[in-house]
């Protein structure tokens, strides 16, 4: 089985530009999570979905961040406009409702200059 | 409320020595406990999990962890460290009714010296 797929793997953009990160969860998984990882703040949960419905977005740092899950096999995390402090590695993870472990994608390294 | 504390942000061992990474949790309900490993420039990989079956859990790469309810601990061990074990290790807790959300510890970076 393919694991969690994220694209792009690396993104370099200029401040003020819109950035869209993409995630394909493991087929059949009910939950999808978006995380951000930085040296300063560690691993932070941004938002998570259950059956495509956002459950908790309290970790989204600002209104510049938004996430959608239009169907069970695709989710996006959008930053508009991007700022240098958004530079981080963004991970997507998915899990099955009956099991509690999460499976992580390889991450997207975002650099905002 | 659930929380996880990992004692020691950095641990250094010699190759062949015992690896012990400490994790203590706080949970008002029976917890599910996990250890994840993150190699440089990679995502987090599940190492092992405790879900209320056997208290001694064996994982990949020779790692194991023991759930001790009385001590609220879930320490990770490996009898003999390999150079390839150098990575960051995260302890995490979840619980029934928690929407599969994981509460992560801050992580412990393991260095292995020849």
Confidence check: pLDDT of B52 > 80: no
State how far the Cα of A44 lies from the Cα of B104, in Å rounded to an integer: 9
A86-111 mean pLDDT: 95
Mean pLDDT score of chain B: 93
Confidence check: pLDDT of A1 > 70: no
Confidence check: pLDDT of B51 > 90: no
Radius of gyration of chain A (CA): 13
B33-57 mean pLDDT: 92
The model's pLDDT over A2-43, given as tens digits with 9 standing for 90+, comes to 899 999 999 999 999 999 999 999 999 999 999 999 999 999
What is the dihedral sign for C-alpha A55, A60, A64, A66?
Answer: negative
Determine contact: A4 vs chain B, CB below 8 A.
Answer: yes
Chain A residues within an 8 Å CB radius of B45: 104
The model's pLDDT over B62-77, given as tens digits with 9 standing for 90+, comes to 999 999 999 999 999 9
Predicted pLDDT of residue B98: 77
Cβ(A33)–Cβ(A93) under 8 Å? Answer: yes
Cβ–Cβ gap A43/B107 under 8 Å: yes
B88-92 mean pLDDT: 97
Determine contact: A49 vs chain B, CB below 8 A.
Answer: no
Between residues B98 and B101, the one the model is more confident about: B101
Instruction: Please give the share of chain A, as a percent, with pLDDT higher than 70.
Output: 99
Determine contact: A43 vs chain B, CB below 8 A.
Answer: yes
Between residues B43 and B27, the one the model is more confident about: B43
> Residue B25 to residues A12, B51, B97: CA-CA distances in angstroms?
38, 14, 17
């Amino acid at each position: 089985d393919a694991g969690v797929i994220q694209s792009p793997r690396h993104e370099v953009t200029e401040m003020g530009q819109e950035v869209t990160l993409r995630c394909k969860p493991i087929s059949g998984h009910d939950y999808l999570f978006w995380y951000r990882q930085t040296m300063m703040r560690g691993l932070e949960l941004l938002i998570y979905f259950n059956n495509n419905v956002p459950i908790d977005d309290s970790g989204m740092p600002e209104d510049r961040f938004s996430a959608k899950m239009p169907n069970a096999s695709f989710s996006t995390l959008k930053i508009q406009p991007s700022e240098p402090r958004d530079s981080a590695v963004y991970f997507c993870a998915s899990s099955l409702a009956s099991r509690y472990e999460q499976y992580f994608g390889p991450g997207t390294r975002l650099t905002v200059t | 409320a659930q929380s996880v504390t990992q004692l020691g942000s950095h641990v250094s061992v010699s190759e062949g020595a015992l690896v012990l990474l400490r994790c203590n949790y706080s949970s008002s309900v029976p917890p599910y406990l996990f250890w994840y490993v993150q190699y440089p420039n990679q995502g987090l990989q599940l190492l092992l999990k405790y879900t209320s079956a056997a208290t001694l859990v064996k994982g990949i790469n020779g790692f194991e962890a023991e759930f001790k309810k009385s001590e609220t601990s879930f320490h990770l061990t490996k009898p003999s460290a390999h150079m390839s074990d150098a990575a960051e290790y995260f302890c995490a807790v979840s619980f029934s009714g928690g929407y599969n959300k994981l509460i992560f510890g801050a992580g412990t970076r393991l260095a292995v010296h020849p």
